Amino acid sequence: MSSPTALIAIDWGTTSARAYRLDAAGAIVEARAAPLGIAQVDAGRFGEALARLLGDWQDLAVPRIACGMIGSRQGWVEAPYLACPAALSALAQGLTAVPGDRLLVVPGLRTRDATGMPDVMRGEETQVVGAAADALAPALFVLPGTHSKWVCFEGGRVVDFVTYMTGELWHVLLQHSILGRLAVAPADRDRVATPAFLRGVARGGDHDSLLHDIFGARTQALLGELAGSDVADWLSGLLIGREIAAARQWAQALGLDAAQVHVVGDDALVARYAAAFGACDVAVVHADARAAAFGLWRIAVQADLISS
Amino acid sequence: MSSPTALIAIDWGTTSARAYRLDAAGAIVEARAAPLGIAQVDAGRFGEALARLLGDWQDLAVPRIACGMIGSRQGWVEAPYLACPAALSALAQGLTAVPGDRLLVVPGLRTRDATGMPDVMRGEETQVVGAAADALAPALFVLPGTHSKWVCFEGGRVVDFVTYMTGELWHVLLQHSILGRLAVAPADRDRVATPAFLRGVARGGDHDSLLHDIFGARTQALLGELAGSDVADWLSGLLIGREIAAARQWAQALGLDAAQVHVVGDDALVARYAAAFGACDVAVVHADARAAAFGLWRIAVQADLISS
């Protein structure tokens, strides 16, 4: 190992785990990933999974810190949710030690909207802390995915957030509902911003009747107005367009202008959302997809785990 | 058979088929049902399925008429969709004969909203014609189910309709998404109007952010604010409450007052919707669940199949 290691940071989610070795300046020296998410590991065997993920990093006598579902009730140790607004210092103070290991786990966050409905997240708070760095001005972060999160960050604090079940709804409707029957896989699965996708975005943005509109994926295909190979794209656009419209209202209620968003995620999904944002005249700042590693670094520094 | 038979009427859907024997006054003399919906019958074997359904009625030399998915592209013969508004006479003129059988099939209906989005139905038009009978005043019919239909009927015509994927969305979310993980089956599966259901109805009625609100079935359960045995009820209430709020807006745009609705469907589902309508101050008229048989009768009379 060429660079000295100061921290091992782990983004440990439901399906996969990513480990990063960072140097004393907080730069990523090396990264490793394994399909060892908490859904893939039997309870009681997280120690073994960590050893497999780290390999020869096991011998490094440096602090270890993790975020994500590893801190959930189904994970290795439960790191209780902190209430919003939550500052970096609160995340650092809320670190929970894994019994019998030197791994520290970042707490998740919870919030409650004006009507009292609760919301939770685990892992995204760390990504936002990493992507926001030292910014103090209000900023809106979007973390698209199975359960898309929109996060308002201001003055070094996670002020509030909201979840949309966009990705999972798209998946279950195509895989398990009648909407999938007329859908055929497109020739190029990586394409983004197709006319069908953008048409869906416009529909979702302009109408709030999702319970009716999703049925349009069937009726349009049935009447020959949507090709089978466009059904999945149109439905994706509809749901993402609806998410963006609903989230902009949410942001405005917080006094935030949603003319610009910071998007954190894997390349394919970010490209899809960027196309939708483009159609809605929202400017996109692409955040580093390794934001979790930088967030874990900042929390570790705040917790005095690293002398920097 | 004690009463003379004038018509055999068949409500032939996706999962089941119901046959009725009606006398010369249009009264139901006898009914038979079988799990012989079009999804249960191999293509090319509908004749055999009909023979099994009818049994000794096969020998009756009377007209036969059917409605529902049997007239779809996946059915026995495709009876093309008619455009709305559609009068009883149009349904009668649109009857499509099954090649090699004397069965006549009622066409489905199609419509298009102000934005151009199409919608379709098959079978519900016949139920509404049966439930409305000779009424000329504007009336709003609700046919709850997998794909709930709201139908505006006036002056003897189906003026317009709209579909909500309420039932199917509830099913796929509970069976195939993360929302089902914390749900446990309630002790009494037939209960309706539980506090959790009514709380969901209120939420769905007051908020149009379904993509976010469905996630509340998880977060509330996770935080101990919703019992596992209440998750399915709350989610059902949320979706039905949202359907009712969206459909009332749709009805108002058509100039219809949604203070009273006619509900057609099976008893358990009608009871569930009636509880939701009660919470929304909408008066409910319970229509006869055998409305399809009466609708088929009226279409057959209009088509001069029966000398009455």
Model confidence pLDDT, tens digit, residues A51-61:
999 999 999 99
Is A106's pLDDT higher than 90?
Answer: yes
- Cβ–Cβ below 8 Å for A120 and B214: no
Confidence of residue B114 (pLDDT cuts 50, 70, 90): confident
Contacts of A250 in chain B (CB under 8 A): 209, 212
Question: pLDDT-based confidence at B186, cuts 50/70/90?
Answer: confident
Query: For A128-149, b where at least 16 C-beta lie within 10 A, e where not — what string?
Result: bbbbbeeeeeebbbbbbbebbb
If you measure CA to CA, which chain A residue comes closest to B163?
Answer: A212
Q: Which residues of A touch B117 (CB under 8 A)?
A: 203, 213, 216, 219-220
Q: What is the pLDDT of residues B156-172, one digit of tens each?
A: 999 999 999 999 999 99
Is A201 buried (19+), middle (13-18) or exposed (0-12) by CB count in 10 A? buried
Grade residue B297 by pLDDT with cuts at 50, 70 and 90: very high
Residue B252, both tokens: 């108002």
Q: Using pLDDT thresholds of 50, 70 and 90, give the confidence band for residue B308.
A: low
Q: Which residue of A has its CA nearest to B208?
A: A208
Query: What is the secondary structure of B41-58 as a DSSP string?
Result: S-TT-HHHHHHHHHGGGG
Q: Residue A185: its pLDDT value, please?
A: 84
Chain A residue at shortest CA distance from B161 = A212
Token pair belonging to B149: 């239909």
Residue B43: pLDDT band with limits 50, 70, 90 = confident
CB atoms A177 and B162 under 8 Å? no
Calculate the alpha carbon distances from A241 to A124, A238, B208, B238 in Å.
21, 5, 14, 21
Secondary structure of residue B92 in the 3-state scheme: helix
Give yes or no for B15 touching A (CB within 8 A): no
Residues B6-25, mean pLDDT to the nearest whole number: 96
Confidence at residue A308, expressed as pLDDT on a 0 to 100 scale? 53
Q: Which of A165, A172, A242 sits opposite B176 (nearest CB)?
A: A172
Average pLDDT over chain A reads 94
Which among A147, A206, A211 is the nearest to B210, CB-wise? A211
Report the amino acid identity of residue B120. V
| Distance from C-alpha of B49 to C-alpha of B38, rounded to nearest angstrom | 9
Mean pLDDT value of segment B48-61: 96
Touching check for B245 and chain A: CB below 8 Å?
no
Residue A189: pLDDT over 80: no
**In terms of CA atoms, which chain B residue is nearest residue A213?**
B164
Q: Which amino acid is at A63?
A: P
pLDDT digits (tens, 9 = 90+) for B56-78: 999 999 999 999 999 999 999 99
Give the strand order in the sheet containing B17-22: B28-34, B17-22, B7-12, B64-67, B103-105, B96-97
Contact between residue B76 and residue B46 where contact means Cβ atoms under 8 Å apart? yes
Instruction: Determine whether the interchain pair A163/B203 forms a contact, defined as Cβ–Cβ distance below 8 Å.
Output: no
The pTM (predicted TM-score) of the whole model is: 0.94
The interface predicted TM-score of the complex, written ipTM, equals 0.93
> How far off is chain B from A219, nearest CA to CA, in Å?
6
Candidate from A193-202, A266-275, B130-139, B222-231 with smallest mean pLDDT = B130-139
Whether the CB of A214 is below 8 Å from some CB of chain B: the reply is yes
Q: Looking only at Cα atoms, what is the longest distance across chain B? A: 66
Q: What is the dihedral of CA A134, A136, A137, A143, to 10 degrees?
A: 50
Which stretch of A180-194, B9-23, B49-63, B259-273 has the lowest confidence by average pLDDT? A180-194
Q: Strands B28-34 and B17-22, how do they pair? A: antiparallel
Decide: residue A286, CB within 10 A, 0-12 exposed, 13-18 middle, 19+ buried: middle
Predicted confidence at residue A136, as pLDDT, reads 79
Query: Which pLDDT does position B163 carry in this prediction?
Result: 98
pLDDT of residue A257: 84
Q: What is the DSSP string of B215-236?
A: THHHHHHHTTSS-GGGHHHHHH
- Does the beta-carbon distance from A225 to B118 stay under 8 Å? yes
Q: Do A169 and B211 touch (CB under 8 A)?
A: yes
Nearest to B212 among A164, A211, A220 (CB): A164
Q: Name every chain A residue with its beta carbon within 8 A of the beta carbon of B213.
A: 117
B chain contacts of residue A210, beta-carbon cutoff 8 Å: 210-211
Neighbouring C-beta atoms of residue A56, cutoff 10 Å: 7
How large is the average pLDDT for residues A99-121?
95
Considering only residues 165 to 204 of chain A, which have any Cβ-Cβ distance to chain B shorter than 8 Å? 165-166, 168-169, 172-173, 175-178, 203
- What number is the average pLDDT over the span A188-216? 91
Name the band, by pLDDT with cuts 50, 70 and 90, for residue A115: confident
> Residues B15-24: what's their mean pLDDT?
95
pLDDT in the model for residue B134: 79
> Could you tell me the pLDDT band of residue A85, with boundaries at 50, 70 and 90?
very high
Contacts of A45 (CB under 8 A, 6+ apart): none
Residue B197 has what pLDDT?
A: 96
Burial class (CB in 10 A: 0-12, 13-18, 19+), A237: buried
Q: Are A211 and B246 a contacting pair at CB < 8 A? A: yes
Q: What is the dihedral of CA B272, B275, B280, B282, to 10 degrees?
A: 90
B160 close contact with A: CB closer than 8 A? no
Specify the pLDDT at position A135. Answer: 79
Half-sphere exposure of residue B256, counting CA atoms within 13 Å on the CB side? 22
- The closest CB to that of A118, out of B166, B203, B220, belongs to B220
Contacts of B139 by beta carbon, 8 Å cutoff, 6+ apart = B132, B152, B153, B154, B262
* Smallest CA–CA distance from A161 into chain B, residue: B212
Note whether A30 and A7 are within 8 A (CB): no
